[in-house]
Structure 1
Amino acid sequence: MSPDLYLSYPSAFLIGLLGSTHCLGMCGGISASLSMALPVGSGFRVRQTTMLLAFNAGRIASYALIAALIALLSTTAVNQWAELGPILRTLAGVLLIIMGLSMGQWWQGIRYIERVGAPVWQRLSPLTRRFLPVQGPGQALALGMLWGWLPCGLIYSTLGWAALQPTVGSAALTMVSFGLGTLPSMLATGFAASQIQALRGQSWFRKAAGGLLILFGLWTLPWLGLIGH
């Protein structure tokens, strides 16, 4: 795959940052519950921070693993059939546009795409009960690694981008960058859930984030000739 298809890690981080309000709806509840389950007392803030970091580290690790698995298939396929490259780029761009439409509350077609991962989640979700209530960082890490497989349109949209990467390692790093972009909101949810939910409910914020995600999608489409410039 051509070197100009290396996707910008800062751009993946920005997608995570813009789309993190969607993450709050998917993962914010479990993140906030980690804090609420802790006994208040000496060292509460340290324990809270440790739990939240462990949970999110597991979540991001799962994103990287999924990206690596997809990249194993996509890089092999594109190396054998070069014409698949533009098709994958188109798919990645369309997924981002659909996610942007959902973020902006213009169209919720992303829900149909999220159903793709439902069979996997049906098998994994019962395992999450083994780690609830979370008693330590190890359990929080394991719970996060399972939660990373929760069907999510934003993750699938970014995985489409990761699949364009020329190596498995760069695909995994793309998703790590994306996961780090979601981290500020996820941590803030644990520390101040009500304030973050208030921002998430602002129509102007969702429309602005959705519009920018749509621009990312248009930038990715191969016939516009913008990717890599």
Structure 2
Amino acid sequence: MLTLTPLTAFTFGLLGSIAHCVGMCSGVLLLLGRAGVQTPRERLATHAGRLTTYLMLGVAGGALGRTLTALLANRTLQSGLALFLGFALAYTALALLGMTPPPETAFPALSALWRRVAHRRLHAPQRGVVAAWGIGLIWGMLPCGFVYSMVLAATASGSPLSGGVIALAFGLGTIPALEGTRALMAHGVGRMRRFAHVLAAALLLLIAGQLILRGLAWWGVIGHGHLGGIMVW
């Protein structure tokens, strides 16, 4: 259906993490410090665990997209899937701008389950790189509309390989902001976050718009758009 470049996914992760994760995950970072995840190796291991979870989600999303594309063999049903993914991504973009409720608020039971599991794991006696990697796996499961948008983009790729690459590039893009959270907060992060919110939302809206236009074109409402020999939608 739609293949994002790794650079686009990385940029989305970078901008979105400044806009979203600095606020949402700062509490998680504080808990990691209290739980004894202090050394550079342990912090790296938590990120590796988080990226492992994202990779699995991306591969699963891409596989789901490929399966749905195969099952929905006719253009009418495929266009419906493209429209659904497009509007879902557009909703997430509006949530980044504060215009709609965050998607994760629709799943309170999932959030409560994550908190219970994370609380037990963070207070477990095991320490070290392997334990930090396990904590990162759980961190990656944090109910988050930002991550949901990554899974939707992976699903829209229609390929497990592309979905996995999108997820990894996205995850790598989130690391700089998460590691630099304290420094950002000490240097006027408010304006930086607002700017990043707008850029990340704009990027999501571009992807959403492409999916929506492609869905409408498959339905015959509009014509397909081409840039040279490449079909844009």
Check whether TM > 0.5.
yes
Counterpart Cα distance in 2 of 1:60 and 1:155: 11
Confirm or deny: 8 A CA contact 1:131 1:140 kept in the other structure.
Answer: no
Residue number in structure 1 paired with 2:222: none
Deviations 1:181-224 (A, max 9, x none): 001111223xxx2x223457424x33322322332233222317
Q: How many residues align?
A: 211
Counterpart Cα distance in 1 of 2:97 and 2:48: 28
Would the alpha carbon gap of residues 65 and 200 (structure 1) be closer, same or farther in structure 2, given more than 3 Å must change?
Answer: farther
Structure 1 segments (4+ residues) deviating >4 Å: 36-39, 198-201, 224-229
Residue number in structure 1 paired with 2:118: 128
1:60 deviation in Å? 1.3
Would the alpha carbon gap of residues 142 and 157 (structure 1) be closer, same or farther in structure 2, given more than 3 Å must change?
Answer: same
Residue number in structure 2 paired with 1:209: 196
Counterpart Cα distance in 2 of 1:27 and 1:209: 16
Would the alpha carbon gap of residues 117 and 71 (structure 1) be closer, same or farther in structure 2, given more than 3 Å must change?
Answer: farther
Pick aligned residue for 1:100 from 59, 69, 93: 93
TM-score, reference length from structure 1:
0.78
Counterpart Cα distance in 2 of 1:201 and 1:95: 28
Would the alpha carbon gap of residues 217 and 127 (structure 1) be closer, same or farther in structure 2, given more than 3 Å must change?
Answer: closer
1:118 deviation in Å? 4.1
Confirm or deny: 8 A CA contact 1:51 1:140 kept in the other structure.
Answer: yes
Q: Does 1:12 align with 2:9?
A: yes
Counterpart Cα distance in 2 of 1:87 and 1:38: 48
Pick aligned residue for 1:23 from 2, 5, 21: 21
Deviations 1:29-69 (A, max 9, x none): 22244345559xxxxxxx62111111111111111112222
Question: In the alignment, residue 175 of structure 1 is paired with which amino acid?
Answer: A
1:165 deviation in Å? 1.4
Question: In the alignment, residue 48 of structure 1 is paired with which amino acid?
Answer: T
Deviations 1:96-116 (A, max 9, x none): 4333333334x1422xx2135
Would the alpha carbon gap of residues 87 and 70 (structure 1) be closer, same or farther in structure 2, given more than 3 Å must change?
Answer: same
Counterpart Cα distance in 2 of 1:149 and 1:68: 15
Counterpart Cα distance in 1 of 2:157 and 2:131: 32
Residue number in structure 2 paired with 1:53: 44
TM-score, reference length from structure 2:
0.76
Confirm or deny: 8 A CA contact 2:65 2:159 kept in the other structure.
Answer: no
Residue number in structure 2 paired with 1:197: 185
Q: Which runs of 5+ in 1 are unaligned?
A: 40-46
Q: Which runs of 5+ in 2 are unaligned?
A: 215-224
Percent of paired sites with the same residue:
29
Q: Does 1:154 align with 2:146?
A: yes
Residue number in structure 2 paired with 1:43: none
Residue number in structure 2 paired with 1:184: 176
Alpha-carbon RMSD across the aligned residues, in angstroms, is 2.8
| 3-state SS of paired residue (1:149) | coil
